[in-house]
Amino acid sequence: MTSAPEAGTPLPPGRAGSNRILQYVLHYRWRYGGGMVALILATIASLLPPVVIQRAVDDLRDGIAMDSLAQYAGLIAILAVVEGTLRYYSRMVVSGTSRMIEYRLRDDLARHLMALDHNYYVHARTGDLMSRATNDLQAVRDVLGPSLVDMSRILVVGVAGILFMLFIDVRLTLIALVYLPVVIGLMSFFETNVEHRFMEVQEQLSHLTDRSQENIAGIRAVKAYAQEDAEIASFAQANEEMRGRAMRLALYHSGLFPIMGVLTGAGTLLVLWVGGHDVVAGRMSMGEFVAFNFILAVLANQLMAVGWVVAMAQLGTVAIRRVNEVLRTVPSVLDGTGTPPPLPVRGEVEFTNVSVAFEGREVLHDVNLRIPAGATVALVGGTGAGKTTLAGLLVRLSDPTGGSVCLDGVDVREWPLPLLRDSVAFVPQEAFLFSDSIRENISYGRPEAGDAEYDLATRISRLSNDLKDLTDGLETTIGERGVTLSGGQKQRAALARALMKQAPVLVLDDALSHVDTQTEEQILEGLNDVMAGRTTILIAHRTSTLRSADLLAIIEGGTIVERGSHDELLAADGVYARIYREQLDAERRAQEQADIDLGGGGA
């Protein structure tokens, strides 16, 4: 019907900031137009029977024969069929279109949520996003589909009905509609209230979704701290608040319907009274009187639904706003548009005068660090020093507030994002695994990998040892976020995943913290081989790991305060020497404790 682009093709990016939903409505204007024309014709067809009846009644009174009655009946039957067909068509087209828009919006939302960066998700709440992507999207669909049909029908029936009535008797029409100004006043009162209440309901719903999502995701913490009852109580309270808000919405939402019923009923009563007198006095024919009441009944029927439709429109407006809010967020990390860097990627990293601030609070400043291609560098610093932040700049989890980060001499902001992220394998501090098989998890990002690659990745990460113990080996499914694996197993699976990429740069953000010392040493040894000629950035606390790096950069007070090899820094007896001794002490104490535990166990 229309020259719709393939579903799923995103709209041109330049328009991303404007009203996406309106664009889709305009895009489908011909479909909507067709639906409206059918609707108008259907309405006219529905208002014609009274005219036929008027003739029939007047003919009856004049004593016209049976066969003309049969003709009238046939006409009414035909009108009914025409009306039904047109109505079906209009509803089909408009509802179908609203579903198409819903489908494309859902696609856009998913695409957009993928495009949004780390910073956005620091503030966004999962439950809220889920709520917008489901409940609000549904409300948008309803308003663009069924509600739109209803609204248009009421409008068309209203206008056409009043015209028909005026045509029959102007005075009676005015009497029948004396209450109209009251209706309009009521409508605007309800309108603002419904919008307000609905906003409150949707916000609370977001909050509830958020609570459930967090409770389920954090079920281990909830149970470990025996907080089930407290969580249930606080959820019940939030749910009670939800009920209250929903009831307040229902009050307004359903209020208009009965009020309209009473008003239209009163109008009909007036018409019967005044019109009846007119017929008796001979000012109006019996047929006109019957037709008039017939039309009035149709009109009243429609007007009763006004409240409902106004409310639906309000709900839709709120939902549209909430969906648009997400769609309008512009990602702060955008794909680079500069000249692509020369291939193959060598892996030379350079931080120049880098500073980073989160909400005005400076975390890093004046960071200068050059990592030659193929080197292994360790970032050392206390907790919260900014190590993760610094390493994340390389894959653009966020962008620096000042200075630049270059890979192979090209600012990472100039790099095409996919190429950048292909070139840097990043093992995050908290391993994230999907509820899938181990194979799917470690081939994430490299679905085409062959057996040799799996072998290498699992061997270097020492995941191979664990695979032997798992019933299905690589095919073992690991539960949501890998709950069936130990902390160290998860970390090694994440490492295997990164190794599968065989990227020129590997970043390990404290990625072996849950792995025992002996296994860690084996892993580092293996890494030494596979990473020969490639760049490795290590963030670690263990002395054994730190010693293995070519260069150490010590971060303290938001900047690099020392740099050099392990031996150089120890000789300099500065910050690193202090951290090293403290760490060594801690490790020795831990070892002693372990020995005591073992000895105690044996006695």
Q: In the bound complex, what is the minimum distance in angstroms from residue 519's beta carbon to ligand DUT?
A: 21
Q: Which residues of 288-301 are buried (b: 16+ CB within 10 A; e: fewer)?
A: bbbbbbbbbebbbe
CA distances from 600 to 100, 587, 595, 597 (A): 69, 20, 8, 5
From 81, 122, 159, 247, residue interacting with ligand DUT (rule: CB under 6 A): 122
Of 467, 452, 539, 533, the residue nearest 500 (C-alpha): 452
The CA-CA-CA angle for residues 323, 329, 335, to 5°, reads 130
Q: Pattern of binders to ligand DUT over 378-397, x per CB under 6 A?
A: ---x-xxxxxxx--------
- Choose from ligand DUT, Mg ion, none: what does 383 bind? Cβ within 5-8 Å by kind: ligand DUT
Asked if 447 and 384 count as a contact pair (C-beta separation under 8 A), the reply is no
d(CA 295, CA 165): 7
Nearer to ligand DUT, 389 or 535 (CB): 389
Q: Which residue is nearest to ligand DUT (CB)?
A: 388
Which is nearer to Mg ion, 119 or 239 (by Cβ)? 119
**CA–CA distance, 211 with 217 (Å, rounded to integer):** 10
Distance CA 116, CA 20 (A): 17
Q: What is the DSSP string of 439-478?
A: HHHHTTT-TT--HHHHHHHHHHTTHHHHHHHSTTGGG-B-
Contact call for residue 202 and Mg ion (CB under 5 A): no
User: What percentage of the chain's residues is helix, strand, coil (to nearest 5)?
Assistant: 65, 10, 25
Conformation bin of residue 353: beta by default, left when phi > 0, alpha when psi is -120 to 50: left
Binding segment toward Mg ion, per CB under 5 A, in 145-153, 179-187, 386-394, 562-570: 386-394
Q: In whole angstroms, give the CA distance from residue 173 to residue 168.
A: 8
**C-beta closer to ligand DUT: residue 56 or 390:** 390
Residue 122 touches which of ligand DUT, Mg ion, none (Cβ within 5-8 Å per kind):
ligand DUT
Binding at 92: pick from Mg ion, ligand DUT, none (beta carbon under 5-8 Å per type) = none
Query: In the bound complex, what is the minimum distance in angstroms from residue 347's beta carbon to Mg ion?
Result: 22
Residue closer to ligand DUT by CB (options 97, 389) is: 389
Q: How far is the CB of 465 from ligand DUT (least distance, A)?
A: 27
- Contacts of 330 by beta carbon, 8 Å cutoff, 6+ apart: 16, 17
Length of the chain: 603
Subset of residues 262 to 281 that bind ligand DUT, contact rule: CB under 6 A: none
Q: Considering the complex, what minimum distance in angstroms separates the CB of residue 509 from Mg ion?
A: 6
Of 16 and 397, which CB lies nearer to ligand DUT in the complex structure?
A: 397
- Residue closer to ligand DUT by CB (options 316, 392) is 392
Q: What is the CB neighbour count within 10 angstroms for residue 65?
A: 8
Residues in 410-439 at the binding interface with ligand DUT, rule: CB under 6 A:
429
Cβ neighbour number for residue 518 with a 10 Å cutoff:
10
The count of chain residues that interact with ligand DUT, using the rule CB under 6 A, is: 13
Orientation of helix 306-328 relative to helix 20-27, angle to 10°: 120
The span from the CA of 368 to the CA of 559, in Å, is: 8
The SS3 call for residue 230 is helix
Which one of ligand DUT, Mg ion, none is in contact with 337 (Cβ closer than 5 to 8 A by kind)? Answer: none
Picked from Mg ion, ligand DUT, none, the partner binding residue 35 (CB below 5 to 8 A depending on kind) is none
Q: Read off the amino acid at residue 52.
A: V
| Helix, strand counts (H, E) of the chain | 23, 10
Site string for Mg ion, 344-383 (x = CB under 5 A): ----------------------------------------
Ordered strands of the 361-371 beta sheet: 361-371, 349-358, 402-407, 410-411
* Shortest Cβ 361–ligand DUT spacing (Å): 6
Compose the 472-511 pattern: x for residues touching ligand DUT by CB under 6 A, - for all others: --------------------------------------x-
CB of 390 to Mg ion, least distance (A): 9
Least distance to ligand DUT from the beta carbon of 481, Å? 19
Looking at 142-150, 240-248, 423-431, 494-502, which segment touches Mg ion (CB under 5 A)?
423-431
What does 307 interact with, of Mg ion, ligand DUT, none (CB < 5 to 8 A by kind)? none
Q: Which of 160, 183, 177 is nearest to 307 (CA)?
A: 183
Which H helix or E strand runs over 505?
Answer: strand 505-509
Q: Which stretch binds ligand DUT (CB under 6 A): 40-48, 49-57, 376-384, 488-496?
A: 376-384
Alpha carbons 158 and 338: distance in angstroms, whole number = 59
Quick one: 42 or 560, whose CB is closer to ligand DUT? Answer: 560
Q: Which does 27 bind (CB under 5 to 8 A by kind): ligand DUT, Mg ion, none?
A: none
Q: Which stretch binds Mg ion (CB under 5 A): 67-75, 155-163, 384-392, 442-450?
A: 384-392
Closest distance of CB 119 from ligand DUT, Å: 7
Please, which residue, 398 or 464, has the CB nearer to ligand DUT?
398
- Distance, CA of 403 to CA of 415 (rounded, Å): 16
Residue 96: which residues within 8 A CB-CB, separation 6 or more? Answer: 31
* Of 430 and 516, CB closest to Mg ion: 430
Among 206, 324, 388, 545, binds Mg ion (CB under 5 A): 388
- Strands (DSSP E) found in 199-254: none
Look at residue 548 and give the partner it binds from Mg ion, ligand DUT, none, a contact being a CB closer than 5 to 8 Å depending on partner kind. Answer: none
Q: Which residue's Cβ lies closest to Mg ion? A: 388
| Distance, CA of 487 to CA of 514 (rounded, Å) | 6
Q: How far is the CB of 555 from ligand DUT (least distance, A)?
A: 7
Partner that binds at residue 384, options ligand DUT, Mg ion, none, CB closer than 5 to 8 Å by kind: ligand DUT
Pairwise CA distance, residues 378 & 560, whole Å: 12
State which of residues 363, 419, 470, 577 lies at the interface with ligand DUT (CB under 6 A).
363
- Return residues touching Mg ion (CB under 5 A): 388, 429
- Return residues touching ligand DUT (CB under 6 A): 122, 358, 363, 381, 383-389, 429, 510
